Amino acid sequence: MRKLFTSITLAAAVLAGCSENHQKNLQKLEGFIQQDTSMIHNLRVICKEYPARLSGSRENAGAQEYIYNEFNKIGAEASLMEVPVPNWYGGESKVVVKYGREAVEVPSVNLGLAEGTGGKVIEERVVEITSRKELDEKDVKGKIVFFNDPMKSHSDYGRAGWQRRQGPGLAAEKGAKGVVIRSLTQFMDEHPHTGSTTYSPNAPKIPAIAISTIEAEKLSKTIAENRRVKLAISSTAYTRPEQATGNNVIGEIKGSLHPENVIMVTAHLDSWHIAEGAHDDGSGVVILMNILRAFNEAGIQPYNTIRVMPYQDEEVGLQGIHTYAEKKEGSGENHLYHIEIDSGIGNPRGVGLYGDSTKIASLNTFISQYVDLGYDTPFIVRAGETYTRFPTATKFGAIAGWFIPDNSTDYFLYHHASNDNFEVLDQQQLKDCSQAMTQLVYLLDRYHK
By the criterion CB under 5 A, which residues form the site for Zn ion? 280-281, 342
Q: How far is the CB of 268 from Zn ion (least distance, A)?
A: 6
Question: For strand 208-211 and strand 88-89, is the pairing parallel, antiparallel, or unpaired?
Answer: unpaired
Alpha carbon distance 2, 195 (integer Å): 33
Does a cis peptide bond (omega within 30 degrees of 0) precede residue 410?
Answer: no
Which is closer to Zn ion, CB of 198 or CB of 305? 198
Q: How far is the CB of 255 from Zn ion (least distance, A)?
A: 29
Q: Which residues contact 367 (CB under 8 A, 6 or more apart)?
A: 378, 379
Which is closer to Zn ion, CB of 375 or CB of 403? 403
> Is residue 437 within 8 Å of residue 286, measured between CB atoms?
no
Which is closer to Zn ion, CB of 124 or CB of 342? 342
Strand partners, 230: 98, 125
Alpha carbon distance 177, 205 (integer Å): 9
Q: How far is the CB of 271 from Zn ion (least distance, A)?
A: 8
Alpha carbon distance 99, 182 (integer Å): 19
Which is closer to Zn ion, CB of 70 or CB of 280? 280
The total number of residues written for the chain in this structure: 449
Enter the DSSP assignment of 240. Answer: -
Which is closer to Zn ion, CB of 135 or CB of 210? 210
Which is closer to Zn ion, CB of 252 or CB of 281? 281
Q: How far is the CB of 280 from Zn ion (least distance, A)?
A: 4
b/e for 61-86, b at 16 or more Cβ within 10 A?
bebbebbbebbeebebebeebebbbb
Beta strands in 65-202 (DSSP E): 77-85, 88-89, 93-99, 102-106, 108-110, 122-129, 144-147, 178-182
Q: How far is CA 36 from CA 24, 73, 223, 268, in A?
A: 18, 15, 54, 23
Q: How far is the CB of 342 from Zn ion (least distance, A)?
A: 4
Q: How far is the CB of 415 from Zn ion (least distance, A)?
A: 8
> Is residue 96 within 8 Å of residue 323, measured between CB atoms?
no
Q: Which residues contact 181 (CB under 8 A, 6 or more apart)?
A: 111, 146, 147, 148, 163, 164, 167, 208, 209, 210, 211
Q: How far is the CB of 64 from Zn ion (least distance, A)?
A: 17
Positive or negative torsion for Cα 275, 348, 183, 281? positive
Which is closer to Zn ion, CB of 57 or CB of 369? 57
Q: How far is the CB of 314 from Zn ion (least distance, A)?
A: 5
Q: How far is the CB of 421 from Zn ion (least distance, A)?
A: 15
Which is closer to Zn ion, CB of 128 or CB of 281? 281
The overall longest dimension of the chain from CA atoms, in Å, is: 81
Which is closer to Zn ion, CB of 370 or CB of 403? 403
Which is closer to Zn ion, CB of 217 or CB of 342? 342
Q: How far is the CB of 149 from Zn ion (least distance, A)?
A: 22
Enter the DSSP assignment of 341. Answer: -
